[in-house]
Chains A and B, each alone.
Chain A
Amino acid sequence: MFLLALETSTEYCSCALNLDGEVRESSVLAGQGHSALLLPMVAGLMAQAGLAFGQLDVIAFGAGPGSFTGLRIACGAAQGLAFAHDLPVVPVVTLEALAQDSGADRVLACLDARLGELYLAAYERVADDQLKVVAEPALLKTSGLPVLPGTWTGVGSGFAAHAAALTGQYTLGAIHAEAFPRAAAVARLGAARFARGEFVRAEEAVPLYLRDKVALDVHEQAALRAERRQPAAGGVAV
């Protein structure tokens, strides 16, 4: 089974092939250059393996959470590659890819969501390429972290950005704050999911944003304007 995985949810840009269990990855620190780098990197990886796109069985991508634009770069590219040859697509949660890469058995994966929030999920390993969800991926405030008893390995940028809150709330063994979601992990998890029949059609492949409130509607805008005109007594207009 031949799988191609794409991952662009952070400032890293990576792609990987899973060829019957043999994983090859190409990864660079891209900053904001993913759009220029991703497809040439894929072409290089495919050429090295001597593969044509029509020989692939499935496309996997890091679905999120992460940079919204980054998620759409991987998702859009996965849609296009899959659509060309009518291939199935496996969306893989970035937090799960982080957990997979850690190699640990009980993992708290956390990415900084900015605006004082974080993306968090908890996993327990059930097999080499399979994790069980203990806490579903969620967008959380540091004041609203769930209770998760036991000792955990912490992975992801969230442990750098929100270190105090996370170490205060959880019993943590090792912490790998420098870890980022990689295409190699997406390729391993993706292949296992595909084998279990967990895939979608190209047009059903969508990013997992988690943050769904991105703008104020006209009523909320009006309410905000009214509030600004008449700040509550002693209060501060926002």
Chain B
Amino acid sequence: MLILGIESSCDETGIALYDTALGAGTPAAGLLAHALHSQVRMHQDYGGVVPELASRDHIRRLLPLTRVVLKEAGKTLAEIDAVAYTRGPGLAGALLVGAAAGSALAMALGIPAIGVHHLEGHLLSPLLAADPPAFPFVALLVSGGHTQLMRVEGVGRYELLGETVDDAAGEAFDKSAKLLGLSYPGGPALSKLAQEGQVGRYKLPRPMLGSADLNFSFSGLKTAVLTVVRKDGLEDTAHTQARADLARAVEEAITDVLTAKSISALQQTGLKRLVVAGGVSANHRLRSRLDAAAAKLDARVYYPELALCTDNGAMIAYAGACRLQLQAAAGGFEAGPYRFDIKPRWDLNSTAIGA
């Protein structure tokens, strides 16, 4: 089966083509082509994602990117067997662009359209790496919108172990960066600044670090950062070292909590594989901390390829392919009726097979 994947849930338009036959052995071999347009620059002028502008950009990028992907893969539309699009969660207006165009394309071609859960895409994206993990595993999903720990038995077999009760980890990075006057998106800029920073000058809280559950809380962090910034006048970029030290402290606090909870999840489940996905999974300090902590448990951490850490079409094409194969095995699927009502809020647990 050849599947076209469409991602438009936030500020990146992603398109990909996935071939299940070629990916039967190693999933990565099935990814024929993928293309991405990031809107980060456009939203920078506004200090954050403007949903209306995001939607306006998606509708201009979607088909040109699809042409690029088809050409790169050497395929024609007539060869496509299904269209997978992100149905949620995400920005409603942005989701609707991919859902409308993807469903209409599928209907006119007479092939199935399948609405994919964005987090299922992220969750499965490490399987597209050169050395993919086997099921079951613990998954840490960390991005600007999500922070969750899941137990993953297989495609569509997920159990939520814990999640943030307020801000997402990526949001904590971005908000702290904003307080330091770093331009949007602040997370990567803050990590860069943190490279020059030293541990010890600032001590920031690690909420819920000691709690027995696997939940997170990051909203208190920005208050603590704001207090330090005001007290030491760190809006002033002349305080080069102190700013770097604070950035380092923010990164330490976030990675500490993410690492501790992930390790607890491995211990509680007895699993030896941890999969980390989402935008924050690109963070180097997080990766080295997780790798070191997991090694002590004889466990291993798996990450998506760097290009697939952000939102992308490849993970949607792949997740759609996995779902379609399950449906085919369970007796087939219908091509219609091409309703494309989206789900801006959508609990991943509710997509579990048998849920």
Contact = CB atoms under 8 A, between A and B. Distances in A.
Interface string A184-221: 00000000000000000011001101000011111001
A68 B93 contact: yes
Interface stretch (B60-68, B188-196, B226-234): B60-68
Most buried by B among A37, A73, A81, A84: A84
A203 B64 contact: yes
- Give the interface SS of chain B, mostly helix, strand, loop or mixed: helix
A207 B52 CA distance: 13
Nearest to B342: A35
B259 interface: no
A78 interface: yes
Given A43-B107, A72-B97, A83 B46 contact: no
Interface string A29-40: 000010111111
Interface in A74-106: 75-81, 83-85
Interface in A47-78: 53, 68-69, 72-73, 75-78
A109 interface: no
A84 B97 contact: no
B108 A84 contact: yes
B79 to A, nearest CB: 13
Most buried by B among A40, A72, A202, A221: A72
Contacts of A77: 100-101, 103-104
Interface stretch (B239-247, B264-272, B333-341): B333-341
Contacts of B109: 53, 84
Most buried by A among B60, B63, B66, B337: B63
A217 B63 contact: no
B112 to A, nearest CB: 13
A42 B108 CA distance: 10
Given A33-B341, A209-B56, A218-B46, A39 B93 contact: no
11 contacts: A35-B341, A38-B340, A53-B108, A69-B55, A72-B96, A76-B62, A78-B104, A80-B105, A83-B108, A85-B108, A207-B59
Contact of B100 (A80, A216, A221): A80
Contacts of A68: 52, 55-56, 93
Contacts of A43: 107, 336-338
Given A81-B107, A83-B105, A84-B105, A75 B337 contact: no
Contacts of B60: 206
Contact of A80 (B53, B93, B102): B102
